Amino acid sequence: MAKAADTGGKRLISLAPDAWVQWVTQLPEVVAKEILASEFQWISRETDVLVKAYSAIHGDFLVLNELQLRYTKYMPLRMRAYAALAQERYRLPIYPVLINILPPPPTLTVASSYEQEFLGLRAIQDYRGINLWEVDAEIVFQQPLPSLLPFVPVLRGGGEAAVVQRALQMLRTDAQLNQLEPLLAFFASFVLDSPLVQQIMRWDMAILRESPWYNEILAEGLQQGIQQGVQQGIQQGVQQGIQQGVQQGIQQGVQQGVRNQLIRILRQRFGEIPEEVEVSFEGKNVEQLESLIDSALAANSLAEFMQNLSA
C-alpha cells in the first residue's frame, strides 16, 4: 500500500517558507516566522495557507496564500472574506496572494481585486494575483523555489520533457521533496503524453488521490451531476423527485469525473479510442473506473488495455 503524502498548500510552502514569502511579496528582506492556523468558522481548505512574516521595514505582517486549481468568478469575494477574517483574528496587516494554477476558460477574466458599491458604501479588497502559466519555469531553479517544483510542467517553458526531468531530479535528491513526485506527474500529464510521463517518473495513483487538486478535478464532475440532478427533480415536480434527482446526480457526477479522467489518459496514450470502449465505461462505479485508470497507465497498447477491460 502506498504511503500517503500531504500534497496540500501548507506542505508545499513549508518546504521553503522564506523563499516563498520573498517570491510572492517581491521583497528580498522578508522572512517567514511561522505558518499560522488558517481555519476559520466557515472557511477551511487544504490550499489556504497563512504565514506570519517579518520585514525590518514593515514589521510583522501576514501573507495570505490561496492556491486555486482553476480561477472562478467567486475568488475575489473569497479573498475579501478570507483577508478580513485573518486580519481580525491576528490583528496584523495582511498581504493577500491568489495563486492560480491552471488557466481559466477564455470567457473568464482573472481579477486582482474585489469591489462593490451598495447604497453609497464601497467595499474594496486588493490582492496580488499570480498566474502560474505566466511564471517562467527557470525561476524555480534559479532562486530556487522548491515549493513550485511540482508545478513546473504548467509554468511558462516548463512543458518540455527535459525541464520536467530537471524538476524530477531536484525532487529525488531531497528526502522531503521526493514524496511530491506523484504531484509533479499529475501536472506533467496536462502537457505531456502519459507514456512519456511514465517513462521519466513514478505515477502512484494511491498517493495522487490524496492531492486536493486531484479531488478538485473530480469535484467538477460532481458539481455538474448535482446540477443535472436538481433539474431532473424539478421537472418531476415533486419533492421526492428532487431528492432522488440530487442523490442520483451526486453519484453520477463523481462517476463522470473519474470517467472523463480515464478517457483523457487513454487519448493521451493511444490517440483516439473506439466509441464502444467509451460506452463500456458507462455504468461502472468509481472503484472500477479508478482501477481502469491504473490499467490504462500500465498498459503498453490499447489492445492490451482492452484485453484487461474484457477480463
- pLDDT score of 156: 93
- pLDDT score of 6: 43
The C-alpha atoms of residue 58 and residue 55 are separated, in whole angstroms, by 5
* The 94-102 sheet, strands edge to edge: 31-36, 48-55, 59-70, 94-102, 128-131
- pLDDT score of 69: 84
DSSP-derived letter for residue 211 is: -
Contact 29, 55 (CB under 8 A): yes
- pLDDT score of 238: 46
- pLDDT score of 176: 77
Report, as ranges of residue numbers, the positions in the chain whose pLDDT lies below 50. 1-6, 41-44, 238, 242
- 93 alpha-carbon distance from chain centroid: 28
- pLDDT score of 182: 79
Q: Is 65 helix (H, G, I), strand (E, B) or coil?
A: strand
